[in-house]
Copies of this chain bind each other. A is one copy, B any other.
């Protein structure tokens, strides 16, 4: 049995699936039976647009779950601040490991962030950004639907800052990625992130976190145009 299991239950990368409550309970049961820890990487759970709210694994079992959060998604990646919520037993050993890895922490940045949180700015920022991302997400889904109709299937879009678009009948290999880049649009094939290769060649990971609204329909238009030029649409 493994000493730990690493999961992203609130939003798996890249496919965006959300671990169901039933599977969560099974996973925790497994952890309790085998004595292993679950590492729960909850990297973008603030941005949830659809479906039932889910409980973090950590809320269901505080003693078997190591919860990892980050400010990379809800603030900005260059802040380089994340955090762990640990079972009581692990606090001392992990403090020791942290000290071995890096004796100091960026206390100035952390103090500024603490003030930012205490003064409610983080909460307001997340609320505002959730509206912004929600608008971009809807616009991307609408653009895809208007351009490709039912030849396209969107999934993994209930949370986070990206979705998966499945283009039935197309594949995104290096040649096509290159052609799209020349057409002015950079795409991220889901296949690149798959452990088992060959099953997801028709899917793109489409991020909408840092794309301005006017760029969204324009990008979708260009994808369609390049695919047409390749004689594939």
In the complex this chain forms, how many copies of it are found? Answer: 2
Residues on B with C-beta less than 8 A from A150 are none
* A232 within 8 Å of B (CB atoms): no
* A233 within 8 Å of B (CB atoms): no
Within 8 A of B (CB), among A87-113: 102-109
Nearest B residue to A77, CB-CB: B104
Complex Cα distance A117/B102, Å?
Answer: 25
Complex Cα distance A72/B109, Å?
Answer: 15
Nearest B residue to A110, CB-CB: B78
Residues on B with C-beta less than 8 A from A72 are 104
Residues on B with C-beta less than 8 A from A108 are 78-79
* A142 within 8 Å of B (CB atoms): no
* A80 within 8 Å of B (CB atoms): yes
A106 touches B109 (CB 8 A): yes
Nearest-Cβ distance from residue A99 to partner chain B, whole angstroms: 13
Complex Cα distance A77/B106, Å?
Answer: 8
Within 8 A of B (CB), among A47-99: 72, 77-80
Complex Cα distance A79/B108, Å?
Answer: 7
Residues on B with C-beta less than 8 A from A109 are 106, 109
Complex Cα distance A79/B102, Å?
Answer: 12
Complex Cα distance A107/B72, Å?
Answer: 13
Nearest B residue to A103, CB-CB: B77
Complex Cα distance A102/B78, Å?
Answer: 10
Complex Cα distance A42/B104, Å?
Answer: 18
Complex Cα distance A97/B42, Å?
Answer: 25
Interface residues of A (CB under 8 A from B): 72, 77-80, 102-109
Top 7 A-B residue pairs of the complex, sorted by shortest distance between their CB atoms: A77-B104, A78-B107, A80-B106, A78-B104, A78-B106, A78-B108, A80-B104
7 contacts between A and B (CB under 8 A): A72-B104, A78-B104, A78-B107, A78-B108, A80-B106, A106-B106, A109-B109
A77-B103, A80-B106, A106-B109 are known; give 12 further A-B pairs, CB within 8 A: A72-B104, A78-B104, A78-B105, A78-B106, A78-B107, A78-B108, A79-B106, A80-B102, A80-B104, A80-B105, A106-B106, A109-B109
